[in-house]
Amino acid sequence: MNITSSTTSKCAFIKYDDDRAVEVGQHLTNTVLIDRAIVCAPFLQSTIPDEATFINSGGPVTAGQRQLPPHVTNKVQELEDGSSVLLTADPQMEALGLPAYPPLPGNTDLAKVEEIRRTIYVGNLPKGVDGQAVLDFFNSFVGEVMYLRMATGPDTLPCAYAYIEFTNQTSVPIALQNNGIDYQGRPLRIQHSRVAIIKPQAKSADQALEEVEEAIRMGKTLKVIEKAKLIKQETKRQAR
């Protein structure tokens, strides 16, 4: 007899009074709630849909899945040599006269494309610069930073560089408009990134559940140990 089990996932919509709370809320992705890792992603429509409409649109997002804003579009273009490239168009950046997104291989996973399109390359940073200081600088003057990866390169390289992934794609045009901004006496070189920042592997729902169960077991064990200590102390007290 084959026995199968399925995990039922549910979703909820939360509408904040302050738009900035949406950015903060996304950091809760992979946080364990009761027995599973939750996924927090922005919903791009202004009106919360009814259940039937939401299910027909594809249902809840999967872990780590995010979407580019509606005005940003991707298309795959076939080349004469048989290969293909993925092109991303952002009319708002075009209107500002900013550089277009660089093409990516046509078979790039769309989730990875979304990450890359929120990421910039920052060059000409001072050697030995503190990563936290760079993060604070871009948080203050551009937009909320989700990840930052510092790199110094070979000793012969006169500067350091970094990759910065913003929480929202809308921070990228702001960053590009600040290309050449002074930072500790050096003009920063800010460009589109062609790669995503490599991150620690996200926990699966099963891994998260195992951690919860282990925490529960550890909690019970600690209670037993604590109770044994109390009994031992009481026994010693009565023996005196």
- The answer to whether residues 187 and 134 belong to one domain is yes
Write down the residue that tokens 């009761």 correspond to.
Answer: 34
The whole domain housing 183 covers 72-200
Half-sphere exposure of residue 28, counting CA atoms within 13 Å on the CB side? Answer: 13
In one letter, which amino acid is 177?
Answer: Q
Q: How far apart are CA 147 and CA 167, in angstroms?
A: 8
User: The domain spanning residue 140 has which CATH number?
Assistant: 3.30.70.330
- Hey, what are 207's tokens? 């891994």
CB burial of residue 188 (10 Å; 0-12, 13-18, 19+): buried
| Per-chain mean pLDDT for the chain | 81
Please tell me the predicted confidence (pLDDT) of residue 64: 47
Structural domain count of the chain:
2
Q: Give residue 81's Cα distance to chain centre.
A: 35
Structural domain includes residue 128: yes
Tell me which residue of 186, 184, 114, 197 sits closest to 151, measured CA to CA.
Answer: 197
Q: How far is CA 193 from CA 135, 181, 196, 238, in A?
A: 17, 18, 7, 72
Q: What is the pLDDT of residues 77-123, one digit of tens each?
A: 999 998 999 999 999 999 999 999 999 999 999 889 999 999 999 99
- The answer to whether residues 164 and 221 belong to one domain is no
pTM exceeds 0.85, yes or no: no
